[in-house]
Amino acid sequence: MSHFSFELIAEDPDTSARAGLLSTPHGEIETPVFMPVGTLATVKGLFPEQLKQVGVQILLGNTYHLALRPGADIVEKLGGLHRFMDWDRPILTDSGGFQVFSLANLTKLTDEQAVFRSHIDGSILELSPEKAVRIQEQLGADCIMCLDECPPHDVEFARMREAVDRTTAWAARCREAQKRDDQMLFGIVQGGTNETLRARSVEGLVPLDFPGYAVGGLSVGEAPEEMYRTLDFTVPGLPSDRPRYLMGVGTPRDLLESVSRGIDMFDCVMPTRNGRNAMAFTSTGPVKMRNAVHQDDDRPLDPDCDCPACTRYSRAYLRHLFIAKEMLGPILLSLHNIAFYQRLMRDLRSAILAGEVREFVSGRLARWSG
């Protein structure tokens, strides 16, 4: 019996947006879904129950960082990632492939594997496709990712093609290496913004019959319009009966545009990182909480939001916390931004079920820019 299923509940008549239900060993996920990033087995500054309170269905953890500390052996010994971080809902772990890109100065790359020098203590970490799968099996996430190579978006064609072919070869090795049958392995499509190379990547991965497919290598410096254009020609090649995950994306607009193009799953550090830096997403657009205009403003941050930051505190108080460098400020704004993203996805799902995605998207974009 399979531990997983993905069921399409509704498809929007005017766009490629879809509402689905992804079943995992730790519960069902209604898609489209946004996954807050818990790199080191924690969403910075927040308790698991706070995340549940604002509707988070699934979290993301990071293979590379957790392999360095505390170490996959320790997490496994302590009962796996769910028990370790006290999160009983689904978890997705990335493969460490993005760190090949972001920590390029610490990496040596061959067809066999990526070799890292730890950014913490300089020790050597070898990450092969087999090792990436093994670490993720030790961590015990519900959804796991193949090791891929994510080159910078502006490399020349030959270099990008090499990354695509290496990613495909590594994907086959990951599929072969997987031992556990209770983890959903995603293949990752690469190829930058090049239509020929994206097609090459899809053609290499689809025969491997992964339970899920991710689009990687976007939101790494290219313009948003380039990303949307790339999704236009990439997503239609992916199997429609599998979940589609756009990695590391993005802004609220990115989510609306990408769901309209058939994407089901997202993750991004933006809600929490921006929250720690005093920037809030609201129903009328972004708000910078350090600005003096909020100094004596008794209004809630966002009257449309029912998170603790909005129901219990004024803009004046939230600004005061940041000006005084009190840790509650980043905590409240991180929670608020995650609540905003979760509500956006719930509302978008309702719009898909009602067949009104186009109206919903244009309405939201107009409100945010107003």
Sketch out the chain's domains with CATH numbers: 5-268 (3.20.20.105), 274-370 (no CATH)
Give residue 100's pLDDT: 64
Residue of 12, 94, 264, 302 marked catalytic: 94
Residue appearing with tokens 């990752």: 188
Angstrom distances, CA of residue 230 to CA of 10, 66, 167, 172, 302: 24, 31, 18, 24, 34
Question: Which range among 5-9, 99-103, 117-121, 247-251 shows the weakest confidence by mean pLDDT?
Answer: 99-103
Angstrom distances, CA of residue 35 to CA of 95, 331, 341, 347: 16, 18, 9, 16
pLDDT higher than threshold 80 for residue 106: no
β-pairing verdict for 18-24 and 5-11: antiparallel
Across the chain, mean pLDDT equals 95
Q: 248 near 153, Cβ under 8 Å?
A: no
pLDDT higher than threshold 90 for residue 87: yes
What average pLDDT does this structure show over 220-248? 96
Spatial separation of the C-alpha atoms in residues 50 and 20, rounded to whole Å: 25
Banded pLDDT at 61 (limits 50, 70, 90): very high
Give residue 117's pLDDT: 82
Question: Which range among 108-122, 170-184, 328-342 shows the weakest confidence by mean pLDDT?
Answer: 108-122
Banded pLDDT at 156 (limits 50, 70, 90): very high
347 given a catalytic annotation: no
Q: Which pTM value belongs to this model?
A: 0.96
Q: 276 near 335, Cβ under 8 Å?
A: no
267 given a catalytic annotation: yes
Q: Specify the amino acid at residue 312.
A: R
Residue of 142, 148, 264, 267 marked catalytic: 267
What 3-state DSSP class applies to 320? helix
pLDDT higher than threshold 80 for residue 65: yes
By C-alpha distance, which of 154, 237, 238 is closest to 194?
154
Q: Specify the amino acid at residue 193.
A: T
What 3-state DSSP class applies to 6? strand
Q: 184 near 24, Cβ under 8 Å?
A: yes
Q: Which two tokens stand for residue 18?
A: 């879809």
pLDDT higher than threshold 80 for residue 195: yes
